[in-house]
A and B are shown apart, each in its own frame.
Chain A
């Protein structure tokens, strides 16, 4: 058994993969310290190697920007076993790029060859993340605070704050807004003066005060939402399929129904 342990950072994972590949080691598994408690022996720690990290990072970017984006998204999935899938995928990408006379087109095509399990598995992960991101582009709900800041809480399965922020920067450039992932205690905070956002730790939500109008618009929306459904076409199963109950807590329209 050889289980490689890293600190949970993306850069460290890339550095670790680079080192494993350079020394031709096939790891049994790769995981973070807290997930590795069950394993007493055979845990291996490698320290961060800037040089190897830089080389692999730029190499991957050079081979395919899309592949790199898939790797990032798969990492943000934070699902169990994503590290080894990323490792396998990186290996495939590198092996591919070393083939003699291979054209960019052929590389791009192969990266969509779902008969190859390393490619399929990584794509399935990144797809999950992008699907959730797309869902939350719609499901984020802002409330207006007394200082006019738009504030949203949500609890996504995957760590998607950074993937959502650019969309809202484009959409609401003239308002200050915060999207707060309360499950992870982080948030994207946008400042309209600077026209930019930062990702930071956010814990405390006590002391939040709504603007005067906020309640009125919530009620207007809630009623509209309820009445827009056509009774003859009632289909709660379908509704739940698109909008699972676990999201309801943070949706304005369902905040009172989630009992």
Chain B
């Protein structure tokens, strides 16, 4: 390698390292065709590779710079941390993205940044990169841009028209925690950015009738929060999630198990990131988005935290056993969807198949129902396969049903998708 390339190699290494604790790698939600340049985006998202941690690599996830004037306690890039620092020039990063993209290493760019000088300054750098890609390279691939904390609303507005997905980190579940760990960030400004983005999106959707396309961040808005660095209950987290989906129409909320990258008296002394908790939160999140659950059904004052031993849907069903068994031949789709062991795909198949014949337990199995789990909660033509319901039995069985590997399968973009247009990724849903 000549020296230019080896400098580039080192720079990417530094700025990739600094970006890697970000949870989202999703490239979904936007489809784009590009008549003039190269590149398209596929609605379901495409994973290109998987790292040793089993996470999908879809986008070139990188920071514009890791030089930061803030000092957030949980972050590897905080001002007071002694690590190598670097800055990508917009041209450099745009070129590199194109080189990776045409070799099909990646689906596009996930660009974030630390706060060099101030939020607006770094935001301008990122905007330059992105507009080089779109306007000079005619790049039609996926771009996810993370806006800088408290950036000028005008910059946020401009950014959204260039990218597929835009996100502003909420960082931590409550304002108190944020003020404690990230004193440079103002909770109301973070929420303010999220609100600005959602009203920009709403405007663009309203204009859809005239323009025939959503031009502002067609892949929608997402956000991310760190789990396990602060004392909030799952109930607090899930309620917040629900209002982000409902009131601000976010596409996704990502949870990122806190990885102890630094030592600080403000932070818990964890030895391992709380991955199982993160997994359970993602399951609960799915129940909100695809299964018609309300946050208060999953968690309440009596049960403020998710049961680590069992998935939240089964936990809910066990607490509400008076609602079962659900009769397969007559129940509504919404009821069937609530049976543990039945996912979105199986529920849809049941509705279709039962019009033609009476379904047996054997049929259900073939359709894809996890009977081992579902058998306690359903009946076929009045008969139950197993009515010996007991909490202990289910908990014991759960140990076998949920293996390590499934934990990481839940992350978006890692699902073996079948149809590109299928919106609720179905495979995994069977597990819930």
Binding site for B on A (CB under 8 A): 109-110, 112-116, 120, 127, 130-131, 134-135, 137-144, 150, 152, 167, 170-175, 213, 215-217, 219-221, 223-239, 241-243, 251-253
Contacts and interface: CB of A to CB of B under 8 A. Distances in A.
Contacts of A230: 20-21, 51, 53, 55, 259
Given A175-B38, A224-B12, A150 B55 contact: no
B42 A137 contact: yes
A10 B275 CA distance: 49
B33 A170 contact: yes
B102 interface: yes
B99 A217 contact: yes
Q: Secondary structure at chain B's binding surface: helix, strand, loop or mixed? A: loop
Contacts of B353: 112-115
A224 B12 CA distance: 7
12 contacts: A113-B352, A114-B368, A127-B418, A130-B418, A134-B417, A141-B103, A225-B57, A232-B273, A233-B275, A234-B52, A235-B52, A238-B53
B352 A109 contact: yes
A113 B21 contact: no
Contacts of A140: 104
A233 B407 CA distance: 11
A215 B1 CA distance: 8
Given A115-B356, A134-B420, A239-B51, A172 B367 contact: no
Contacts of B419: 130
Q: What are the nearest 7 A-B pairs in CB distance?
A: A238-B54, A229-B51, A235-B54, A229-B52, A216-B5, A233-B53, A138-B48
A174 B20 contact: no
Given A115-B353, A131-B418, A233-B275, A171 B40 contact: yes
For B102, B107, B367, B419, which residue has the most chain A Cβ atoms within 10 angstroms? B102
Nearest to A152: B104
Interface stretch (B83-91, B127-135, B190-198, B408-416): B408-416
B421 interface: no
Interface residues of B, number: 69
Contacts of A171: 38-40, 141
B103 A237 contact: no
A220 B20 CA distance: 16
B13 interface: yes
Given A114-B366, A221-B100, A229-B52, 19 more contacts: A112-B352, A114-B367, A115-B357, A134-B46, A174-B38, A216-B9, A220-B8, A221-B103, A221-B105, A228-B20, A230-B51, A232-B260, A233-B54, A235-B52, A235-B404, A235-B405, A237-B404, A238-B54, A238-B404
